[in-house]
Amino acid sequence: MTTASGVLTAGLYLSSGIQNQVTQAQHELDAHIASGPDGRCLNCGQDEPCSRRQEAVRAFARYGQLPRRRPGLARVRPSGNRTGGLGRR
């Protein structure tokens, strides 16, 4: 539900200022979610979870929000050296 100045999300009213911070946190999270084979953030090079990702997660927690997950963004590494890791259930 959208009003003139904010969004009602799961019963919580978010002012447009807070909404902007949540949106910003989502951008930060998206930018710092992927890590390379050495376990470091592909964006800033820190060990994951990097400080900017942690900051974004804290922002979501502060406002009682959950980040949106985008399939494929985390670039989950397939375990190539194990047989049957992905196909078998």
Contacts with Zn ion, residue ranges (CB under 5 A)? 32, 41, 43-44, 50, 52
Closer residue to Zn ion in complex, CB, 14/30: 30
Q: What are phi and psi of 7, to 5 degrees?
A: -130, 135
Residue with tokens 């994951």: 48
Give the span between the Cα atoms of 28 and 84, in whole angstroms: 35
CB of 18 to Zn ion, least distance (A): 23
Q: Which of 18, 2, 31 is nearest to 62 (CA)?
A: 18
* Angle of CA points 69, 13, 63, to nearest 5°: 50
CB of 27 to Zn ion, least distance (A): 12
Closer residue to Zn ion in complex, CB, 44/74: 44
CB of 16 to Zn ion, least distance (A): 27
Closer residue to Zn ion in complex, CB, 52/63: 52
